Amino acid sequence: MRSLILGSFRNKSAVSILIVMVLGLGIFSYFKLPMEFLPEADNPQVTVSVIGPGYDAASMEQSVTNPLEQALAGIKGKSNVFSSSGDGYAQVNLDFESGTDMKEAKQEVERAVNAVQLPEHVSPPYVVQFNTSMIPISFVTLTFNDGVTEAQKEQLEQTVSDRFRDIDGAGEVQLSGKTQPKITITPDPDKLAAKGVPLQALYGVLQGRQASASVGQSTIGGQIVNLNVSGSLSGIDALKALPAAPGVALSDIAEVALADDKESVNRIDGKDALMLVVSKSASANAVKVGDGVDKAIKELNAEHPEINLRVMLSTSEQVVHSVNSMMREVLMGALFATIVILLFMRNIRATLVTIVSIPLSLGMTLYLLDMSGITLNILTLGGVAVAVGRLVDDSIVVIENIFRRLQKEKFSIDVVVDATREVSRAITASTLTTVAVFLPMGLLRGSLQDFLLPFALTVTYSLLSSLIVALTVVPLLSAGVLKKASIKEHLPSKRFMAFLNWNLRFKWVPILIAFVLLAGSVGTYIAMPKGALDQSSASMVNVSLSYKPDTPLDQVLDNGKKLEAFLMNRKEQEWVNMSMGNSSDSARYGSVQSPTLVTYMMQIKKGENAQHVIDAIQAERPNYPGADLTAGTSSLLGGGGGTQVFIDVTGNDLNQISKTSEEVIAAIKPIKNVLKVESNQDEKKTVYTLKVDASAAKAGDISSQLQSLLNEVPIGTINAGGQLLSVNLEPTLKPASEDDLNKLTVMTDNGPQVVSSLAQWDKEELPTQFYHKDGKSYVRVTATVDPEQLSTAGDDIDEALKKITPPDGVKLNVGGAEADQSADFASLFMMMLVSIGIVYLIMVVTFKTLRAPIAILSSLLFVPIGAVLGLIIAGITPDFTAIFGIVMLVGVVVTNAIVLIDRVRQNETRMSIRESLIEAAATRMRPILMTAIATICAMLPLVFGSTESGSIVSQSLAVVVIGGLAVATLLTLVIVPCIYELLFFRKSAIQRREAGSEVNSAV
């Protein structure tokens, strides 16, 4: 280590150039690094979505879900297959094992589902594999001025979409709420009968009317010419004039009209609007793509005054805000650390030398992040915010030791080098132990690793950089600025030395008190409810209005507009977006929902209270009978933190599963903090099934005929107003009662017959949702719980389920937010144990003994005291990030103990153990307090600032780190010496007896 320190003195010019290069590379990397909201992480899941308007849940299950599941049975690497079938949609989710190549998995799924023959009027299967880079950059609304024709709208929609796709770095551009004009032909049964025209004649009314073909070539006028045949219908009037039969025009027997057809409804501020969602490509800079969208909107609005494009929500703005707020907190943390150092050292030159480690370490960190292919996001910036207080720790210990030596000795390069070498082992070991805490993050599997690894690498790069700076740059600068400095000698506190001496004499008293406090804090923590990770943003409110599946869609839409008007009248709203129904564009992204569900996004004005809005919305529930009205704050990633517990009842017998699920609902409904309990079998819908006698008629023929009679049938296309429109024959039959169903007439081999003579209609009440796991049906019971009492309610639910004895073959599987939270907590605790093992190994290698590291690790025992105390004072419920804060403290707290014990081990060569402990604690008290207070002050902006949605660096993490470090530091100076002497009690006792004998003999 001495050679490394001396090397910086022998190559001052090279070190100076390296300093400039590191700062320059850091600045260059900062502007070069891609900025995004979250690090790129693959979700090990592939989703297949299909929409089938008009199909009930049972039909979707039998005709769509089951064939898809059979086709996907042979996919390699899948761990589970879950599916859901509802009215008008089906979705299959394939979970894959960690480490699976998800691009290859997606391609294999696409090949499998594309080979499946699906029923008519059902969309093709849409396959999507999610990645965090697919988080939308901009949500843009498009509205048209009055007077714009449908053909012009279609052309403008294409122009806008193409312009967005041309943006550098842009990925997918999703368009929803699009109008699809069509021409409808509605037959009049009375006029058909009067004119003697059969309905079947209308199916072929467009057949052969339009053509464009080459029929050959001929020699005319001495030259070869091509011969073509062309015929087309242009406009709705031409369609009306078409003959449906000799002497009978189409308009004589049917109504021909232009109609608007929408796959889904999308409205902004009470007006129909199109929604464009722009995503970025995998390696693109989110901020640059967002700027490109803003620029394109300005240009398009100027070029096309008939349209109005408006950015409704921009995640790129959120990224910029995240970067700026985190950088502000980093600078505030650095400022606090500077003030602390100045107050302790009372020397501006020494303070400046110490602070130089922050920009150098950050510059090196940014360059290494760039080289590692890691982006600048809220997690990497969070790593910097957490590490900034720790960046000066090594430099503080070095400069303090140099400062202390120069108070007693004459300045020389050898003194500076020797003072640095004296603490080099301690700061190297402490830095490596902190780094070791983050290494086990590589053991975590799945998306948790994808999120924590960039954070861990950022902290690792920062700390290793600060260690190099402390061992090379700090001694070099100290030699320059302290050469002629006048430094007063700093004497250790005699009161503290006397206090520590008393504690060492009666060591069982402080140790017992500390362990009583530890037991109390652990008990308090166990009793404290654990909350869900709060991802909500008070600037956004999500509202949903859900009706039963058998509710007419017109009624749902009318009530949806009524609630929309109420939301728009709220003074807190900046804009309100309403959407309803499924669309092919949404299905491409795995988004399918009930047709009777209306959802709203409401942007809250800055400074307004979102909770007041939520309370007002919930008070409106009586005005919407038969509907489920919910509201809550929403995060940028869509939806608030998960607070639902799922109990999946699986087995082979659906009747047994249903009965068991009813027992589960009855058992958990009375539980406190459970707000709502429901299952997918609660919602039922009336379904009529025609049971055909196979000996009397062909079920397939009857099915095809009834499908044509009861649903619109496309019969061709025509060109109208420069736009290609679909021509659909509307259903002629609209049965309104069971009697009407029985009177339906179909063609058979024996001629026309009423269906009641061939078959019987069976009326059933069937669920509107069906769930499968690995091809087998199951019932899902969903319990919505109080977010603040998630773990408590989860434990109560577990206890209630233990009292239920399911039949043979039926199993209860608990999942959802509480199970996910438990898995996350278990992963972090396992990671903490591995970290402690690695830390102990490093210290054994450093100190060449097994017992001294045990004394250092004892400082960890008292982390919970301060952490729980901090949570109680702040009134914060511990969540995932609070537990992560405990894991971080493993590396931070042992740093102080290492600096203390390293001095003790050096003293033992010339002093007794007790003398070594008292001298080391008195000498190292100043650097220990300085490093601890600097770290605490650097974390303060995270406590009082606003943390970003989805960030692991939350207020609860900062509170835990501050509380745990503050208490552990104070106890380190007292309890660690007591435990150290206890571990070497025989040797210490012998030394004290020998010292007492020498004193007696001298007397």
Q: H/E/C letters for each residue in 746-804?
A: EEECCEEEEHHHCEEEEEEEEECEEEEECCEEEEEEEEEECHHHHHHHHHHHHHHHHCC
Angle made by CA atoms 780, 782, 784, in degrees to the nearest 5: 170
Query: Under a CB-based contact definition with an 8 Å cutoff, are residues 753 and 746 in contact?
Result: yes
% the chain with pLDDT above 70:
89
Query: Under a CB-based contact definition with an 8 Å cutoff, are residues 135 and 37 in contact?
Result: yes
User: Residue 502: its pLDDT value, please?
Assistant: 93
Average confidence (pLDDT) over 364-386: 83
pLDDT band at 638 (very low <50, low <70, confident <90, very high): very low
Looking at residue 484, what DSSP letter applies?
T
Q: H/E/C letters for each residue in 602-664?
A: EEECCCCCHHHHHHHHHCCHHHCCCEEEEEEEECCCCCCCCCEEEEEEECCCHHHHHHHHHHH
Helix or strand (DSSP H, E) at 209: none
pLDDT band at 497 (very low <50, low <70, confident <90, very high): very high
Q: CA 474, CA 253: separation in Å to the nearest integer?
A: 95
Indicate the length of the chain as a whole number.
1003
Angle made by CA atoms 463, 468, 470, in degrees to the nearest 5: 90
Looking at residue 234, what DSSP letter applies?
B
User: Residue 693: its pLDDT value, please?
Assistant: 81
With CA atoms as reference, report the closest residue to 822 among 868, 886, 880: 880
With CA atoms as reference, report the closest residue to 397 among 365, 430, 436, 364: 430
Q: CA 708, CA 712: separation in Å to the nearest integer?
A: 7
532: pLDDT strictly greater than 50: no
SS3 490: coil
Q: CA 73, CA 630: separation in Å to the nearest integer?
A: 37
792: pLDDT strictly greater than 80: no
918: pLDDT strictly greater than 90: yes
User: Residue 946: its pLDDT value, please?
Assistant: 52
Question: What is the DSSP track for 20-69?
Answer: HHHHHHHHHHHHHSPB-SS---EEEEEEEEEE-TT--HHHHIIIIIHHHH
pLDDT band at 988 (very low <50, low <70, confident <90, very high): confident
381-392 pLDDT, tens per residue? 777 767 776 777
* Sequence letter at residue 741: L
Q: CA 550, CA 768: separation in Å to the nearest integer?
A: 9
145-176 pLDDT, tens per residue? 888 887 788 889 889 999 999 998 888 888 87
With CA atoms as reference, report the closest residue to 393 among 430, 350, 447: 430
Q: CA 491, CA 976: separation in Å to the nearest integer?
A: 22
Paired with 216 in beta bridges are 227
Residue identified by tokens 């699920």 is: 661
- Joined together, the tokens standing for residue 233 give 């219908």
Average confidence (pLDDT) over 622-627: 88
* Rounded CA Rg of the chain: 37
With CA atoms as reference, report the closest residue to 278 among 200, 391, 161, 378: 161
Question: What is the DSSP track for 86-126?
Answer: ETTEEEEEEEE-TT--HHHHHHHHHHHHHTS-PPTT-PPPE
Average confidence (pLDDT) over 278-301: 87
- Joined together, the tokens standing for residue 838 give 């690695």
Query: pLDDT: is 696 or 786 the higher one?
Result: 696
Helix or strand (DSSP H, E) at 332: helix 315-345
- Joined together, the tokens standing for residue 323 give 């970067």
User: Residue 819: its pLDDT value, please?
Assistant: 47
User: Residue 1001: its pLDDT value, please?
Assistant: 65
Query: Under a CB-based contact definition with an 8 Å cutoff, are residues 19 and 473 in contact?
Result: yes
Which is it for strands 307-314 and 248-249: parallel, antiparallel or unpaired?
unpaired
Looking at residue 166, what DSSP letter applies?
T
Q: Residue 23: is it exposed, middle or buried by C-beta count within 10 angstroms (0-12/13-18/19+)?
A: middle
- Joined together, the tokens standing for residue 917 give 């402990």
pLDDT band at 447 (very low <50, low <70, confident <90, very high): low
Q: CA 293, CA 161: separation in Å to the nearest integer?
A: 11
859-907 pLDDT, tens per residue? 888 788 888 888 888 777 666 667 767 777 777 788 888 889 989 998 9
Q: Residue 106: is it exposed, middle or buried by C-beta count within 10 angstroms (0-12/13-18/19+)?
A: middle
541-595 pLDDT, tens per residue? 888 898 887 788 889 999 999 999 999 999 888 889 888 877 666 666 666 777 8
The answer to which of 259-273, 820-834, 875-889, 972-986 has the lowest mean pLDDT is 820-834
The answer to which of 467-476, 788-797, 955-964 has the lowest mean pLDDT is 788-797
16-26 pLDDT, tens per residue? 899 999 999 99
Q: Average per-residue pLDDT in the chain?
A: 82
CA distances from 557 to 265, 568, 578 (A): 9, 16, 10
Chain centre to alpha carbon of residue 239 = 53
User: Residue 562: its pLDDT value, please?
Assistant: 93
Cα end-to-end span (Å), the chain: 46
Average confidence (pLDDT) over 824-842: 75
Q: CA 870, CA 942: separation in Å to the nearest integer?
A: 14
Query: Under a CB-based contact definition with an 8 Å cutoff, are residues 170 and 291 in contact?
Result: no
Locate all alpha helices (DSSP H) within 814-912, ordered by sequence: 817-847, 851-857, 863-874, 880-907
Torsion-angle region of 522 (φ positive above 0: left; ψ -120 to 50: alpha; else: beta): alpha
- Joined together, the tokens standing for residue 180 give 């699809």
Question: Which residues, in sequence order, are CB contacts of 96 under 8 Å at separation 6+?
Answer: 44, 45, 46, 77, 78, 79, 102, 105
- Joined together, the tokens standing for residue 364 give 């090196």
Query: pLDDT: is 550 or 484 the higher one?
Result: 550
Q: CA 269, CA 466: separation in Å to the nearest integer?
A: 53
CA distances from 225 to 215, 222, 231, 407, 929 (A): 11, 9, 20, 108, 98
With CA atoms as reference, report the closest residue to 634 among 174, 270, 949: 949
Domains assigned to the chain: 1-32+347-483 (1.20.1640.10), 42-181+263-318 (3.30.70.1430), 493-527+849-997 (1.20.1640.10)
Query: Under a CB-based contact definition with an 8 Å cutoff, are residues 885 and 455 in contact?
Result: no
Average confidence (pLDDT) over 788-801: 77
728-751 pLDDT, tens per residue? 888 877 888 888 888 888 888 777
978: pLDDT strictly greater than 90: yes
User: Residue 790: its pLDDT value, please?
Assistant: 64
Residue identified by tokens 């004895």 is: 805
Q: CA 69, CA 84: separation in Å to the nearest integer?
A: 11
Looking at residue 861, what DSSP letter applies?
G
